[in-house]
Amino acid sequence: MDGKSAGHRLSFDEFKLYYESTEKVTDRRLQTNRWNYSICVAMLVAIAVLTRWSLTTAALLWIGFASVATLAVMAILFCALWVGQIRDFKKLNNAKFMVLNDMAPHLEFDIKNPGTVVSYRPFEKEWTKLSELSALDEVGKSNIIALKSSNIEYFIPKAFGLLFGGILIVLAIILASNWPPTKLVHSAPQSASPEPIQVRRP
């Protein structure tokens, strides 16, 4: 049972501790976003290196193209995971603030003088003001109500996903326009072989 149904007052220290855990969730989400961004950039660099390597060595062209395709598919799946992580973190944050709002009316700030200090319920009032200012919006189709700028947080992983998808499409077009495979191998630049050294006899 919650504090209201049990008729008990709740400790402000517990409220404060729970609020700190809510802040930590936000910090973890931002840290995860930075880490995922770095991984996506690293994957892009790896794809560029593999592409350059495969185009300069005709014998290994298909190995390079297969590696690029595999890495691009893995990157698309990773971007989908990233979007899911953002959504889950936001849902967890929303749930925590709902609990804080429920706790606020039942807090006991001064144990020696119970009932003398009551909560202003700032989170609830802040949410009401944001709604009046039309600063809130539903995030995607996840039924999460948050600041309108929160939708931008989803833009980066989705943009990376589209970029990696574009790489797959370009790769497919190159393969389709150069079929059969021998045509592409013959058109790839060959590595220069050193000319034989002629030795003059005296």
Residue with the two structure tokens 């603030």: 97
Task: Select the more confidently predicted residue: 173 or 4.
Answer: 173
Distance CA 146, CA 141 (A): 12
Query: In this model, does residue 8 exceed pLDDT 90?
Result: no
Q: What is the pLDDT of residues 72-81, one digit of tens each?
A: 999 999 999 9
Mean pLDDT of 63-72: 90
Residue ranges per domain, the chain?
7-187
- Contact by Cβ (8 Å): 18, 71: no
1: nearest Cα among 128, 141, 106 = 106
Kindly list the distances between the CA atom of residue 33 and the CA atoms of 79, 138, 160, 174, in Å, as whole numbers in the listed order: 11, 20, 13, 33
Helices (H), the chain: 3-6, 12-56, 61-103, 122-132, 150-177, 181-187
Lowest mean pLDDT among 29-43, 46-60, 89-103, 140-154: 140-154
pLDDT at 84: 92
Q: What is the pLDDT of residues 131-188, one digit of tens each?
A: 766 655 666 565 555 555 667 788 899 999 999 999 999 988 887 887 665 555 555 5
Query: In this model, does residue 106 exceed pLDDT 70?
Result: yes
- Contact by Cβ (8 Å): 22, 92: no
pLDDT at 11: 83
Beta bridge partners of 107: 10
Cβ-count burial 119-144 (b if 16+ within 10 Å, e if not): bebebbeebeeeeeeeeeeebeebeb
